[in-house]
Amino acid sequence: MNSRSFYAVGYMFLITAFFSTLIIGFARGTQTRVLANERLAFEKAVLTAFGNFSYKTDAEVNRLFQEHFAQNPEYGKAWVYKKDGVLAGFALPFEGKGFWAPIKGVAAVSPDGQKLLGLAFYEVNETPGLGARIVEPFFRRQFEGLRLRSQGLLLELKPEGTVLSEGQVHAISGATQTCVRLEAILNEQLKDWLDAMRREGRL
Amino acid sequence: MKTASVKPMQEIIRDGLWKDNPIFRQILGICSTLAVTNLVLNTFVMCTALTLVTALSCWTVSLLRSWTPRNIRMMVQTLIIAFYVIIVDVVLKAYWPDMSRSLGPYVGLIITNCIVMGRCEAFAGSNPPGPAFWDGFFNGLGYSAVLLGIAVIREGLGMGTFCGWPLPYFSTHWDKWIIMVMPPGGFFVLACVIWACRSIRPREVKK
């Protein structure tokens, strides 16, 4: 290697070290905030899924979450919801691949595992105006009190206008791909968790 | 590193905004043009990010141009661009998490946006830091103007809203054109914008 090559290698090494150091410093400086934001988005989704909480500030979200929800290894990845010291449901986090990007959310499940109490999302990047509408109350409200089927699919998303039977809700017109994927994610992850809990005699 | 004769400011502004507009003249940065323009607010944040990254990357590349060996200049430029993009990404994640989630991977993809690298290579590498900064800035602004125009059309016709606010008539009586918020809608509107802008001032001069 001649001196020009040494200079190029040395220069690249120095400049990479300089910019990397700045980025690492900056990322470390904001890491606490980034993690807190992710945690807050999850906590908001849990409170929204159960639907009976009202809050105005982020601090209230933290307080309500800590007061009412706790993780218990006996219930796997679900958060246990207690109201006045009595078991009132489970917040089951779920995630999977949507049409464009991952869909992450929380399903509120009744204490006996027979019904959904609600549904909320904390990460959705589907098509605006179409798939992204799954976060809107008109869609989510359909899951409140939805009885899960005991055989076959636990729940189904049917096209708008269909007469619904047990375990069915209306999908969103024009958002077929998102709805198909959401249906699969919910069925798979709810079933896995419910089966595990029933096997262990927790439900 | 050679330094070209410095372009006058008026020329930098005119070239970035109109004469050499990155979108309808150079056809650069089309991926993000199609991807983020279905919502005005997302487009605005994306454009602000790109304008800042382009201006600051050009400034830094220009500042280092006397020391940067020519054979590794593109690696250095990519490193500088990536540095600013990561900073923007971290700022959004820390201070505007909803927007960060909404823009998804597109902020990170500014690194591969041809406009940024194009301006670093074509202008910043051979001009002083001041003009390089403004060249990057006005190219970013030229990109932003076109993207925001496209976003207003797509969100208005596709959802009947502007920045999420219902528009009179379009939110009530207008039969919403769903295709406008889908990727093909981006192609249609972009094609119309390019056609309209090139009709106003054709580049090819007939001999």
Gap from A137 CA to chain B (nearest CA, Å): 16
How much is the average pLDDT of A2-18? Answer: 91
More reliable by pLDDT, A180 or B8:
A180
**Is the ipTM reported for this complex over the cut 0.95?**
no
Q: Identify from B66, B86, B159, B179 which residue to disrupt to test chain A contact, counting A C-beta atoms within 10 A and taking the largest count.
A: B86
SS (H, E, C) B154-202: HHHHHHCEECCEECCCCCCCCCCCHHHHCHHHHHHHHHHHHHHHHHHCC
As a whole number of angstroms, the distance between CA A138 and CA A156 comes to 17
Indicate whether B27 pLDDT > 90: no
Gap from A37 CA to chain B (nearest CA, Å): 7
Name every chain A residue with its beta carbon within 8 A of the beta carbon of B65: none
Gap from A14 CA to chain B (nearest CA, Å): 11
Name every chain A residue with its beta carbon within 8 A of the beta carbon of B182: 127, 130
In terms of Cα–Cα distance, which of A115, A45, A126 is closest to A79?
A45
Gap from B87 CA to chain A (nearest CA, Å): 7
Residue A101 contacts B, CB cutoff 8 Å: yes
Residue B198 CA: distances (Å) to CA of A34, A175, B154, B192, B204:
44, 36, 21, 10, 10
In terms of Cα–Cα distance, which of B131, B156, B21, B136 is closest to B81?
B136
Supply the DSSP string of chain A, one letter for each residue: --HHHHHHHHHHHHHHHHHHHHHHHHHHHHHHHHHHHHHHHHHHHHHHHH-----SSHHHHHHHHHHHEEE-GGGTTPEEEEETTEEEEEEEEEEEE-SSSEEEEEEEE-TTSSBEEEEEEEE----TTTGGGGGSHHHHGGGTTPBPPSSS-S-EEE-TTPPP-TTEEE--TT-HHHHHHHHHHHHHHHHHHHHHHHHTT--
Q: Which residue has the tokens 């004469």?
A: B19
Q: Is B178 within 8 Å of A8 when comparing Cβ atoms?
A: no
Indicate whether B4 pLDDT > 60: no
Tokens found for residue B44: 């605005």
Q: Is A16 within 8 Å of B80 when comparing Cβ atoms?
A: no
Poorest-pLDDT segment among A32-41, A128-137, B38-47, B194-203:
B194-203
As a whole number of angstroms, the distance between CA B108 and CA B87 comes to 10
Tokens found for residue A47: 């409170």
Highest-confidence segment of A133-142, B5-14, B25-34, B161-170: A133-142
Which pLDDT value is given to residue B28? 86
Which pLDDT value is given to residue B108? 81
Confirm if B60 and B184 have CB atoms less than 8 A apart.
no
As a whole number of angstroms, the distance between CA B150 and CA B190 comes to 7
Confidence of residue B113 (pLDDT cuts 50, 70, 90): confident
Q: Is A27 within 8 Å of B182 when comparing Cβ atoms?
A: no
Gap from A141 CA to chain B (nearest CA, Å): 22
Non-local CB neighbours of B33 within 8 Å, separated by 6+ positions: B23, B146, B147, B150, B186, B190
Q: Is B80 within 8 Å of A129 when comparing Cβ atoms?
A: no
Residues 12-31 of A with CB under 8 A from B: 12, 15-16, 19, 22-23, 26-27, 30
For A103, nearest residue in chain B (alpha carbons): B101
Q: Is B69 within 8 Å of A11 when comparing Cβ atoms?
A: yes
How much is the average pLDDT of A124-130? Answer: 82
Which pLDDT value is given to residue B204? 57
- What end-to-end distance do the CA atoms of chain A give, in Å? 71
Of the candidates B71, B80, B94, the beta carbon closest to that of A37 is on: B94
Q: Is A129 within 8 Å of B181 when comparing Cβ atoms?
A: yes
Indicate whether B65 pLDDT > 90: yes
Confirm if B30 and B155 have CB atoms less than 8 A apart.
no
For B153, the 3-state DSSP assignment is helix
For B86, nearest residue in chain A (alpha carbons): A23
Indicate whether A50 pLDDT > 90: yes
In terms of Cα–Cα distance, which of B20, B10, B28 is closest to B198?
B20
Indicate whether B1 pLDDT > 60: no
Of the candidates B71, B76, B178, the beta carbon closest to that of A174 is on: B178
Tokens found for residue A177: 């791909």
Confidence of residue B61 (pLDDT cuts 50, 70, 90): very high
